Structure 1
Amino acid sequence: MKVFTVCGITQSGKTTTIENIIRELKKRRYSVGSVKEIHFEAFAIDEKGSNTDRHRRAGSELVTARGYYETDVLFPTRISIEEILRFYHQDYVVLEGVTDSNVPKIITAHTIEEIEERLDGRVFAISGRIVNEIQEYKGIPVISTIDEVTKLVDLIEEKVYEKLPEFPKECCGACGYDCIELGIKILKGEAKREDCIISQEAIELLIDDKTIPMVPFVQNILYNAVTAVVKELEGYKKGHKITVKIGEK
């Protein structure tokens, strides 16, 4: 799954940019998901006093409202982007206004000052209202999704990589960088997604068919523990694939 974010202040063109990107990605036959960050403390889809609100206030840890044409799963807390993305399986997921995830970034802006406020090594394109003023900024292309959406989506196909983990360097760093640094290197063409040691793992852990990323230290513990037990069993052959499935007792 490839994930990127579009960031900018209100009325800078974020949603229009995302709409046009999604349409073009769909034209190219990709499956697409999206996540919208709401920067409003009082925001709540669930109305106070509604039946689902009463469920939540009574202590339900997860509430689902199912209608004829829509199903809404309501968590009674803010959850991380990593947790949210576990519900997605699309080719691309577009984040709107999300700034706390290690993913490539498109900035939308009115002014140079707005670009500078959000500029970092993960920015690979600029769009929004600023397209009427400049064509590039510090080597980063400024592209209109109204007139040049195909050009921007070509760049998305070129630059956006499979989602990296979010481990700090002290937990992993096996590739020589932390996850943010590796992402920046990939965007600059100085590294490849395959340089992430996690993607080269000899052991994979899935919970409910969702892959759980593990740093090399944890991989080694699990790998050694499983192989130490299995190699004592009849039928074990060194180098052969081992599959272990665990369900509820």
Structure 2
Amino acid sequence: MKVFSVVGYTKSGKTTTIESIIRELKKRRYSVGTVKDIHYEQFEMDTEGSNTHRHKQAGAELITARGFHETDILFQERLGIHRIASFYDVDYLILEGVSDSIVPKIVTADKVSDIEEKWDDTTFLISGKIADVMDDYKGYEAISAIKNVSRLVDIIEEKTFELLPDYDEACCNACGYSCRELCKRILKGQKKRQDCVIGQGHITLKINGQVITMVPFVQKILKNAILGVVGELEGYTSNGTITIDMQNDKYD
């Protein structure tokens, strides 16, 4: 699943750009999901006095409202992008207004100073209203999603990639770079997404069906612990496959 973010100030053409991108991706037969970051401290999807709000007030930690045409799941916390992305199974996940994750970014703007303020080293494209009056910015294309969405999505197909783990460099730099630096180099064509070693190990850990990513150091600890026990059992072979399905039951 490829992930990218579209960031920009209000009325810069951000949502219009995303709408055009979605339509073009769907035209190309991709499945698409979106995440909208809402920068409003008092925002709540639920309304005071509703039945689901009463559930929340009573102490429910996860609430689901199921209607005839949609199902809304309400978490009582702000989830990280990696946790949110785990609920999606689409070809492209578009983030609107999300700037705190290491993903390729499109900056929308209506003046150059807005580009400067939103720009960082993970930006790969300019769009929005300013693309009507300029063709590039510091060597990066400025493309109108209304006038030339085909070209814009061509670049999205070329540049975007699956989420990087976003680990602290002190925790993992097995590829030789921080996750942000690797993202930057992928966008410049100097590295590939496959250069991230996370997920390429020989151990897969799932908790409640969800794959848990592990840095190489943790994979090594888990592997050695398992082999230390299993290696002494009859039937063990060094080139075999080991499968462990453990139920986390509680006993008195």
Report TM bin, short chain.
over 0.9
Q: Which secondary structure state, in structure 1, belongs to the residue aligned with residue 161 of structure 2?
A: coil
Structure 1: distance between partners of 2:156 and 2:67: 35
**Which residue is 2:54 aligned to?**
54
Instruction: Give the 3-state SS of the residue equivalent to 1:169 in structure 2.
Output: coil
Residue 137 of structure 2: aligned partner: 137
Q: How many percent of aligned residue pairs carry the same amino acid?
A: 57
More divergent stretch after superposition (78-87 vs 55-64): 78-87
Return the TM-score normalized by structure 1: 0.97
2-side partners of 1:207 and 1:148: how far apart? 44
The 1-side partners of 2:229 and 2:160 are apart by 41
Distance 2:160 2:209 in 1: 24
Structure 2: gaps of 5 or more residues: none
Shift of 1:209: 2.6
Which segment is superposed worse, 157-166 or 223-232?
223-232
CA distance in 2, matches of 1:121, 1:139: 13
> What is the match of residue 246 of structure 1?
246
The match for 2:161 is: 161
Give the Cα–Cα distance (whole angstroms) in 2 for the partners of residues 145 and 197 of structure 1: 35
Instruction: Show the counterpart of 1:173.
Output: 173
Where does residue 128 of structure 1 map in the other structure? Answer: 128
Map 1:75-224 onto structure 2 (within 5 A): 75-224=75-224
Distance in 2 separating the partners of 1:77 and 1:192: 34
TM-score, normalised to structure 2, is 0.96
Aligned residue type for 1:140: Y
Amino acid across the alignment from 1:153 = V
> Number of residue pairs matched?
249
Aligned to 1:17: 17
Q: RMSD of aligned C-alpha atoms?
A: 1.1
Letter in 2 for 1:19: E
2:199–2:214 CA contact under 8 A, matched in 1? no
Q: Secondary structure at the match of 2:199?
A: helix
Amino acid at match of 2:140: I
Instruction: Give runs of ≥4 in structure 1 deviating > 3 Å.
Output: none
**1:68 alignment partner in structure 2:** 68
Helix, strand or coil for the counterpart of 1:198? coil
Deviation for aligned residue 1:225: 1.1
